[in-house]
Amino acid sequence: MTNTTAGYRPVDRGSAPDAAPPLGDLPPAGAGPAFDLLDGVRILDLTTSVAGPFATMLLADLGASVIKVERPGAGDDARGWGPPFLDGESLWFLAVNRNKQSVTLDYSGPEGRAVLHDLVRRSDAVLLNQPPRVARKLGLDPDSLRAIKPDLVYTAITGFGLTGERADWTCYDLIAEGYSGVMDVTGPKGGEPQKVGAPAADMLAGQDAALATLAALFARKATGRGRVVDVALVDSMTRFLTCRIVPYLGSGEVPTRSGGTDSVIAIYQAFETADLPITLGLGNDNLWSRFWQAVGEPEAAAETGFGSNAERRARREEIVARIQAILATRPRAHWLALFQAARIPAGPINRIDEIARDPTMRERGMIFRIDREAGGAVPQVGTGIQLDGRSNVPRSAPPRLGEHSRAVLAGLLGYNDDKIRRLAADRII
């Protein structure tokens, strides 16, 4: 066996997860201009929680001006989600709300609704996550808002969509994961179904909403038409299972929980080493051969019954046991360095604190902090997109509740001081 450390840079794992938050150790946001692909586009964000705010943050990251409308005194539901909190602010809220302006507005009554309609008239798209029944009650349904601005792009994020018998059913990420089938195939073999370890349905639906809103805005430039975009958490989460559902539809084989060891690729799972686990994926015959050469048993690749992925799947249990016996003889760092040098897909199973310290993630602008002008800092995860060879730079930290109410009402809507004071006295803003 060859032992090499070239190319692999292990994170200092330590003996336990970090006890203290690593905010002070985070690099500051990069220098340079922010992405400006959507410069001149104004988004009205009427959403709460995760899916909608994530969608509008993606649009803001790409350069759109996003006005986030929140309930006076309470704001976005996610502002109350915690602990953990940072200086009294929910870290879940801070995760999905940078690059936005916050305006507080009670639009349940006619005066507040008039303000909202003024904002709609000056917006290119509006995103909301109210069930259709509630949207109609508040005058936020597609027909009502497009009567105010006919070319408006209207994007609704709901649990089950704008139509059908489930349209007004309430939903969260957890509920959508259960409906979609992902929980039934997640977890240990013979064990209980498990939720994905992140709000997967929320994040997927948010990304779908941002993508569809962009496409509708692009089409509007050519046609002048607004569109109604209908994104459902259950739909987005179900689409996530495409590579599970289509094989079932074509074969009739219902997948079951396996602890992540039942891939269509014969060897595609986690393995234990002498100290820490790794992942290993041998997705084609070339990788299969290179693996056995790397571990010093080149003859194993050509053994009878190992010639194709289908043959290897039939003998998976035997092969897995054989590979596991080899990997258990040396520590993780040895194997990852060896496989990296041999161009074999493998990697660590990082804890959250480890990926947060990963030097490559920091170099690519994925983990950083935003320093606030008034003091303090906010930890962030980057856009995840490189443009012209560089990562995005945030324009602003997640807003305090109502931080921009006066600036937006005066600067965008042209309201005078007397009107703004009256709205505040009546607790509309």
Span 395-412, mean pLDDT?
97
Residue 9 pLDDT? 52
Which of the four pLDDT bands, split at 50, 70 and 90, describes residue 262?
A: confident
Span 81-94, mean pLDDT?
96
CA distance 365 to 343: 25
Residue 19 pLDDT? 53
CA distance 168 to 150: 25
Active site residue 202: yes
CA distance 59 to 67: 11
Residue 4 pLDDT? 37
pLDDT mean across residues, the chain: 93
Q: Classify residue 103 as left (phi > 0), alpha (psi -120 to 50) or beta.
A: beta
Residue 36 pLDDT exceeds 90: yes
Class of domain 1-30+261-383: alpha beta
Residue 16 pLDDT? 57
Span 136-152, mean pLDDT?
96
Residue 20 pLDDT? 59
Residue 30 pLDDT? 87
Which of the four pLDDT bands, split at 50, 70 and 90, describes residue 5?
A: very low
Say which residue, 23 or 250, is predicted with more confidence: 250
- Give the torsion through C-alpha atoms of 90, 161, 59, 117, to 10 deg: -90
- What are the distances in angstroms from CA 149 to CA 69, 212, 219, 226? 18, 19, 16, 9
**What share of residues in the chain are helix, strand, coil (percent, to 5)?**
40, 15, 45
Instruction: Confirm or reject CATH 3.40.1350.10 for domain 33-240+399-425, answering yes or no.
Output: no
CA distance 428 to 112: 6
pLDDT digits over 161-200, tens only? 999 999 999 999 999 999 999 999 999 999 999 999 999 9
The boundaries of every CATH 3.40.50.10540 domain in the chain are 33-240+399-425
- Give the torsion through C-alpha atoms of 393, 396, 398, 399, to 10 deg: -170
CA distance 49 to 274: 42
Main-chain dihedrals φ then ψ at residue 182, nearest 5 degrees: -65, -35
Which of the four pLDDT bands, split at 50, 70 and 90, describes residue 21?
A: low
Which of the four pLDDT bands, split at 50, 70 and 90, describes residue 17?
A: low
Active-site choice (76, 106, 202, 230) = 202
The boundaries of every CATH 3.30.1540.10 domain in the chain are 1-30+261-383
Which of the four pLDDT bands, split at 50, 70 and 90, describes residue 358?
A: very high
Span 122-139, mean pLDDT?
96
Which of the four pLDDT bands, split at 50, 70 and 90, describes residue 74?
A: very high
288-313 residues labelled b (16+ CB within 10 A) or e (exposed):
bbbbbbbbeeeebbeeeebeebeebe
pLDDT digits over 360-388, tens only? 999 999 999 999 988 899 999 999 999 99
